[in-house]
Amino acid sequence: MISHGDRQSELSSPSPEISRIVGSARSVRFGLPDKLPEEMHTLFVGVNPGIRSATVGHYYAGHSNYFWKLIYRSRIWDKPVTTFEDDTLVNAGFGFTDVCKRPTTGISGLRTEEFSDSAGHILSIVKTHRPGLVVFVSKAALRGFRQDFSIRLSYGHQGEFSPTSKVYLVPSTSGASLGDTSFRVKLHWFRNLRREIVKAESRFSRRR
Nearest to 161 by CA among 132, 140, 182: 132
Q: Which CATH class is domain 38-207?
A: alpha beta
Domain segments of the chain as ranges: 38-207
Name residue 96's amino acid: F
Report the pLDDT value the prediction gives residue 109, as an integer from 0 to 100.
63
Report the pLDDT value the prediction gives residue 1, as an integer from 0 to 100.
53
197: CB partners within 8 A, 6+ apart: 2, 41, 42, 76, 133
Q: What is the pLDDT along the chain (208 residues), one digit of tens a residue?
A: 554 443 333 333 333 433 333 344 343 445 799 999 999 999 999 988 889 999 999 999 999 999 999 999 999 999 999 999 999 999 999 999 999 877 777 766 666 766 678 888 999 999 999 999 999 999 999 998 988 888 999 999 999 988 889 999 999 999 999 989 999 999 999 999 999 999 998 877 776 6
Task: Kindly state the helix (H) or strand (E) to which residue 146 belongs, with its residue range.
Answer: helix 139-146
